[in-house]
Structure 1
Amino acid sequence: MLAPYRLLAAVGRLPTLLLWSLLGRLHTTATALALTFLVTDWTGSYTRAGLVAAALTIGTGIAGPLRGRAADRSSVPKLLILTGACYGGGLCVLAALPAHLWPVAPVVALLTGLSMPPVSQVARSVWARVEPIEARNATYAVESTLSELLFMVGPMLAAFTVAVVDPWAAVVLCGVFAFLGALGFALALMRSDLRPVPTPKSESDTPSSEGSTTGPAPTTERRRFVLREPGLAPTITVSMLLVAALVAVDLVIIAWARERDTPELAGVLVAVWAVGSLAGGLIMGGLPGRPNPVRRLIAVTAGLLLLVPVLPPIWAEPNPWLVGLVLAAGGAAIAPAFGAMNNRLGELAPTGRRAEVFGWMATGSMAGSSLAATSVGWMLDVGSLGAAAGLSAAFGCLAVLVALQIPVAAGASPQERAEDVVS
């Protein structure tokens, strides 16, 4: 089980790159919580908080493929540093807004989201170049697993800052982490042999022969829209729905903690959820064979369904220990599911356009976050915690149905292809 992790550690400077890529995304796990507390303190409305969060995610979603394409064709370190500075500055501006000017917040959030540093898409495009393939699979698995540490540390740090200082301080802290993380990742890339090399436009439009199920496309199709490549659109749609489901649960936890007047509980429960995911990722990441996305998504959805009966109206007075136990058990499939989806997308993406493809994945993720922020925010205002959790499970069910449309990547064995079809 440990063999893939040993292979990963043997690739030069890969552990350092992995570490900085994670630190560069730490702010993303804390920003939603910090902004939710900030805007609800301003307005007393989860719907309005959802609008601000949705504006931020819409801006980030628009920027995703654009930043990814820029990363494929220009200096990645310079791009990371510039966008990190703009994004961090935007969050500081949001924190400094007076409460009576909250209608300006969605505009500022949108502009801030447009500056999101492309840490995730750059990192995942780099992992697709890791050899041998066992080390590459382990890298995707370890990244998804260790990302759960971010969901432990980020929300807890934000919740602690909200409880001890104020919501605006938590938002500022997110901005500082955004800039420092992007800067550190940029410097690590400059020292690594795996750093991206700008690709000429004519070459960047050539599909991958190592990951595509169809092989190189004819010259007349080299300029076609990248999401027309087989399997990319459903894979990104699944990521969008999966993120929507998980963000919905985050909002349910935040709402319950705020109703109890214990904001620190939100950070603790999100951390417990992440512990379950971390444990599942460590175990599944070391197993041999190609990961099966459909099976892992079914397991995630089952965990989401388990949350509904322990919340109102079914359980009138939720028990924090019971909710934490359900979150820990249900979270065990989250990191394995993300690892499987990222690995499959890296196999299907054209070689010279991987950062752009993972940028579209970031866009899909942000769209899922925006969908959850608006729909679940409204559900919490007019419905119940259990209804909002049920909506999360509905997103998970849709993700499973769409995942059935994802083709098997080139290089899979006949047995793995059969297993994909059966699942």
Structure 2
Amino acid sequence: MLKSYRPLFSIPHLPGLFIWSLIARLQVAGLPIAITFLVADWTGSYALAGLVSGALTVGTALAGPIRGRMADRGRADRIMVVCGVVYSGGLLLITLLPAALWWISLPLSLVTGLFLPPAGQIGRALWPRLTSGQNRKAMYSMEATFQEVLFVVGPVLTAAVVGLSGGRAALVMLAVISLIGALGFAMMLRVAGLTRTPAVETGANEGARRSLLTIGPLALLVVVCMMLVGGLAAVDLVIVAWARELGTPGYAGALAAIWALGSLVGGLVAGGLPGAPRVSRRAFAAAAGVALLIPLLPPILELPTPWLIAPMLFVAGLAVAPTLAAVTERLGDVAPDNRRAEAFGWMNTGVTTGVAIAAPMTGWLIDLGGIAAGVAGGVALSLSAAVLTLWVPGARPQPTTVPTPVG
């Protein structure tokens, strides 16, 4: 299995670019925790803390395509530096606010979110320039797999700092990590000579004014990302709610880590498999994995301990990273060469929107029918994403009797 990944480490600059792109994204998953604790300390209200965290998310979603377009048309390294400085500065300004002026953090968070350094977008747009064939498939699998790792490491690191020094210290730490990551990734782009897209270097920029959402397969993949990630986010929210109902919040991190570990193993295995990934098959497998959790959750079944669901959580996670990798690779294929970073900006907007949809929906379903009902909502979203992949060109296996030209 690991043989498929070894060639990636021999590609000039690729390991450094990948590592720095991950560091530049490390703070994202931990920010909601730090902001929630900080604002809740100021106001005593989790609802107000949610508003501030939501404002940051809205800013991030709104500007994703714009940041991507700027990276496609200009110098990616400069964009990383500018966004890194402004974004980190915005987070630090929030930490300096007195409790009485907490409301200033609302517009400040919105503006800060607009400048999230687009490391993920730029990185995903670069992989097709540096890899091809099996190497490209392995690269996107590794990307999706380690993204899952970030969603475990970020919250765990943030929670540890919150426990030791409070939300303000945690937010300062995340601001510093974001700045270091953005500057490091910008430096690697310069060293690799990949600060501009080929279209910018050659002066070719046809179709730059046309909205990418007019490209049918690309728009469909953005919706698939929205529904898929919304369904997966529902499981994360259910885990937190279940642990809270049991009066053992510590279970939430441990169960989420098991869910992510399954995704990590699945992603590594999928990246080593030969042949093109079948998006629909993986998407239906991801939906089925989430569905397997429903019979094991209250009120359908009252387990004596949540640890008994751990093996099924691991199994349910196996298809998560492979599905995300296949969808990401397919989006990179259908996006115009000179606008890939913008395309992945729309993907980020879709992902953020999916999480925003899942949060209130899952909470309402849990209140209505318990923990199992919350997961059922996640299944509905994941299954909808799987059905939509049937209309994505190249998502299903093609007939082998007639050669299919690649264009």
Of residues 339, 353, 358, the one that matches 1:372 is: 358
- Is 1:291 the equivalent of 2:277? yes
- Is 1:177 the equivalent of 2:163? no
Cα distance in structure 2, aligned partners of 1:382 and 1:40: 26
**Greater CA drift, 47-56 or 173-182:** 47-56
Of residues 225, 246, 251, the one that matches 1:239 is: 225
Cα distance in structure 1, aligned partners of 2:131 and 2:273: 18
What amino acid is aligned across from residue 342 of structure 1 in structure 2?
Answer: T
- Is 1:74 the equivalent of 2:74? yes
Cα distance in structure 1, aligned partners of 2:355 and 2:338: 28
What amino acid is aligned across from residue 117 of structure 2 in structure 1?
Answer: P
Distance 1:373 1:45, change over 3 A: farther
Distance 1:414 1:382, change over 3 A: closer
- The Cα of 1:377 is off from its aligned counterpart by 4.5
The 5 A counterparts of 1:360-399 are 360-379=346-365, 384-399=370-385
Q: Which residue of 1 aligns with 2:156?
A: 156
- Is 1:325 the equivalent of 2:311? yes
SS in 2 for 1:117: coil
Contact 1:311 1:386 in 2 (8 A): yes
Cα distance in structure 2, aligned partners of 1:304 and 1:46: 28
The 5 A counterparts of 1:240-319 are 240-260=226-246, 262-316=248-302, 319=305
Cα distance in structure 2, aligned partners of 1:294 and 1:192: 35
**Greater CA drift, 2-11 or 117-126:** 2-11
Contact 2:134 2:275 in 1 (8 A): no
- The Cα of 1:185 is off from its aligned counterpart by 1.0
Cα distance in structure 2, aligned partners of 1:78 and 1:268: 39
- The Cα of 1:158 is off from its aligned counterpart by 2.1
Q: Which residue of 1 aligns with 2:131?
A: 131
Cα distance in structure 2, aligned partners of 1:416 and 1:251: 46
SS in 2 for 1:404: helix
- The Cα of 1:289 is off from its aligned counterpart by 0.7
SS in 1 for 2:27: helix
- The Cα of 1:337 is off from its aligned counterpart by 0.6
Deviations, residues 159-180 of structure 1 (Å, cap 9, x unaligned):
2223333233333332222222
Contact 1:126 1:195 in 2 (8 A): no
Contact 1:68 1:356 in 2 (8 A): yes
Distance 1:341 1:318, change over 3 A: farther
Cα distance in structure 2, aligned partners of 1:114 and 1:288: 39
- Is 1:415 the equivalent of 2:372? no
Contact 1:230 1:348 in 2 (8 A): no
Cα distance in structure 1, aligned partners of 2:215 and 2:401: 22
Contact 1:46 1:381 in 2 (8 A): no
SS in 2 for 1:415: coil
Deviations, residues 221-261 of structure 1 (Å, cap 9, x unaligned):
66421221240001011111122122222222233344555
What amino acid is aligned across from residue 147 of structure 1 in structure 2?
Answer: Q
Q: Which residue of 1 aligns with 2:168?
A: 168
Structure 1: runs of 5 or more not aligned: 207-220
What amino acid is aligned across from residue 188 of structure 2 in structure 1?
Answer: A
- The Cα of 1:200 is off from its aligned counterpart by 4.1
Contact 1:51 1:374 in 2 (8 A): no
Cα distance in structure 2, aligned partners of 1:288 and 1:327: 27
Distance 1:305 1:165, change over 3 A: farther
What amino acid is aligned across from residue 313 of structure 2 in structure 1?
Answer: L
- The Cα of 1:115 is off from its aligned counterpart by 1.1
Cα distance in structure 1, aligned partners of 2:374 and 2:100: 29
Contact 2:199 2:205 in 1 (8 A): no
- The Cα of 1:112 is off from its aligned counterpart by 1.8
Contact 2:197 2:338 in 1 (8 A): no
Contact 2:37 2:167 in 1 (8 A): yes
Contact 2:74 2:200 in 1 (8 A): no
Cα distance in structure 2, aligned partners of 1:403 and 1:53: 31
Cα distance in structure 2, aligned partners of 1:403 and 1:40: 41
Cα distance in structure 2, aligned partners of 1:3 and 1:325: 28
SS in 1 for 2:391: coil
Deviations, residues 123-142 of structure 1 (Å, cap 9, x unaligned):
01100112332212211111
- The Cα of 1:119 is off from its aligned counterpart by 0.6
TM-score (norm 2): 0.88
Distance 1:10 1:170, change over 3 A: same
Deviations, residues 170-205 of structure 1 (Å, cap 9, x unaligned):
333322222221111111111114443474499564
What amino acid is aligned across from residue 125 of structure 1 in structure 2?
Answer: A
Q: Which residue of 2 aligns with 1:211?
A: none
The 5 A counterparts of 1:35-50 are 35-38=35-38, 48-50=48-50
Contact 1:276 1:328 in 2 (8 A): yes
The 5 A counterparts of 1:179-258 are 179-197=179-197, 199-200=199-200, 205-206=205-206, 223-258=209-244
Distance 1:402 1:310, change over 3 A: same
The 5 A counterparts of 1:114-129 are 114-129=114-129
Contact 2:212 2:219 in 1 (8 A): no
Cα distance in structure 2, aligned partners of 1:151 and 1:416: 42
SS in 2 for 1:128: helix
Distance 1:314 1:224, change over 3 A: same
Distance 1:11 1:249, change over 3 A: same
Distance 1:270 1:91, change over 3 A: farther
- The Cα of 1:361 is off from its aligned counterpart by 0.8
SS in 1 for 2:325: helix
Cα distance in structure 2, aligned partners of 1:203 and 1:402: 36
Q: Which residue of 1 aligns with 2:2?
A: 2
**RMSD of Structure 2 on Structure 1 (CA):** 3.0
Cα distance in structure 1, aligned partners of 2:309 and 2:46: 22
Contact 2:91 2:172 in 1 (8 A): yes
Percent of aligned pairs sharing the same letter? 45
Structure 2: runs of 5 or more not aligned: none
**Greater CA drift, 241-250 or 19-28:** 241-250
What amino acid is aligned across from residue 140 of structure 1 in structure 2?
Answer: Y
Contact 1:71 1:122 in 2 (8 A): yes
SS in 2 for 1:129: helix
